Homo-oligomer: A and B are copies of this chain.
Amino acid sequence: MKTDICKKLGIEYPIFAFTHCRDVVVAVSKAGGIGVLGAVGYSPEQLKEELDWIDEHIGEYPYGVDTVIPQKYEGMDEKDPEQLLESLQKMIPDGHREFVEELLSDNGVPKAPETNGPKGGLLGWTEATAEPQIDEALKHPNVKLIANALGTPPADMIKKIQDKGVLIGALCGKIKQAVAHKEAGLDFIIAQGGEGGGHTGEIGSIVLWPQIIDAVDGLPVLAAGGIGSGRQMAAAMSTGAQGVWCGSLWLAVEEAAAQPAEKDSYLNATSEDTIRSKAWTGKPARMLKNKWTEAWENPENPDPLPMPLQGMITFDAMRRTSMYAGSGSTQEVSFNAAGQVIGQVKQIESVKDVIYRMINEYLDSVERLNSLLPKE
């Protein structure tokens, strides 16, 4: 099932694995797909460490990096990271920080020591903070693909990436975003339906995929949102996608660095246990429902702030709930981003087993379709 984009990237299977975990990146690329590391939560120094580690372990296989530059965010005219941070910090009401602290302490989440993470909790979701990530990524020769979530990347970044011979694509959940991506000269599009995890729109995958494939006429489209098996992969490829972009599938694999309590949250979730909420980043993202999402969805409590402000006040919560995942009722206030397909993740498997199972299921699906064709 090698599609054109597989040939360009030199990969065996059209399986694109979005993950926050370097071990998963390596395992996916080695199994014939391509691992893509989500960079948004790393400072440039941390990102360098992660990519150096991947370089040491991945051999000759290619991999990718995922950044998050939104189309719109508070302070978007400011390109200097320090200035931006200063002006953003003034925009955060005290009550919001107190509300976060209360939620954490009510659920027994311990305080955590400082790390060399992003300053002031301002993650890579601004142009000012994402550009250093892209500059770092481009120093690593096996990085063959960069994907941007939430918007069309700025023209100079696109040029910088393509000049290095690296493919640049971006996610979208609406036709008009896909068309904007194409007009900006991107190399591929990731069409993510509303059932997907993380930042996501409202149009269902089965409706969105073929519409975007037609709208960008000829540009490779990867299907995202709701793909957790080879049957779903075959469905995506039937609509004309050149590959599948999966995230939830890797949350509880053997190689994922997540703590057991976090993996348990994913393994125990059904497809009905997710919610699309602004509770963590200020833009709608799909995640497991818990007391944290309930609290922010409750109209009597503070409203989530616009991006990137909400992320700045939730960054400490993310860090602490991730560090002490198994402590007290931490899982009740953790950020467990996941798509509806999480309901299909029922056991811990190795990345290789997941990929081989997908390929086998895919081949069975195609065989089944063939068996239904009228006999000539």
Contact = CB atoms under 8 A, between A and B. Distances in A.
Interface of A: 1-3, 174-175, 193-195, 202-208, 210-211, 225-229, 231-232, 234-240, 270-272, 339-341, 343-344, 363, 365-366, 368-370, 372-374
B203 A239 contact: no
Contacts of A225: 204, 206
Contacts of A343: 207, 211
Contact of A174 (B272, B341, B344, B365): B272
B238 A372 contact: no
Nearest to A194: B204
Contacts of A204: 193-195, 204-206, 225-226, 340
Contacts of A231: 210, 238-240
A293 to B, nearest CB: 14
Contacts of A365: 238-240
A240 B205 contact: no
Contacts of A370: 366, 370
Contacts of A340: 203-204, 207
Given A1-B374, A3-B372, A372-B2, A206 B194 contact: no
Given A238-B238, A366-B370, 20 more contacts: A2-B374, A193-B204, A202-B272, A203-B271, A204-B206, A205-B206, A206-B225, A206-B226, A206-B232, A206-B235, A207-B339, A210-B232, A211-B344, A231-B239, A231-B240, A234-B239, A235-B235, A237-B369, A238-B365, A240-B368
Contact of A207 (B195, B202, B236, B368): B195
Contacts of A270: 175
Of A174, A206, A234, most B-chain CB atoms within 10 Å: A206
Contacts of A369: 234, 237-238, 366, 369
A367 to B, nearest CB: 10
A296 B325 CA distance: 41
A206 B227 contact: yes
Nearest to A227: B206
A363 B339 CA distance: 31
A372 B232 CA distance: 16
Contacts of A237: 368-369, 372
A192 to B, nearest CB: 11
By Cβ-Cβ distance, the 8 closest A-B pairs, closest first, are A195-B204, A235-B235, A206-B226, A234-B238, A207-B226, A207-B340, A235-B238, A1-B372
A1 B202 CA distance: 32
Contacts of A202: 272
A211 B174 CA distance: 26
Contacts of A174: 272
A172 B237 CA distance: 26
A135 to B, nearest CB: 36
Contacts of A206: 193, 195, 204-206, 225-227, 232, 235-236
Contacts of A207: 195, 226, 228, 232, 271, 339-341, 343-344
A203 B195 contact: yes
15 contacts: A2-B374, A193-B204, A194-B204, A203-B340, A204-B225, A204-B226, A207-B226, A207-B232, A207-B340, A231-B240, A234-B238, A363-B373, A366-B366, A366-B370, A369-B369
Nearest to A368: B240
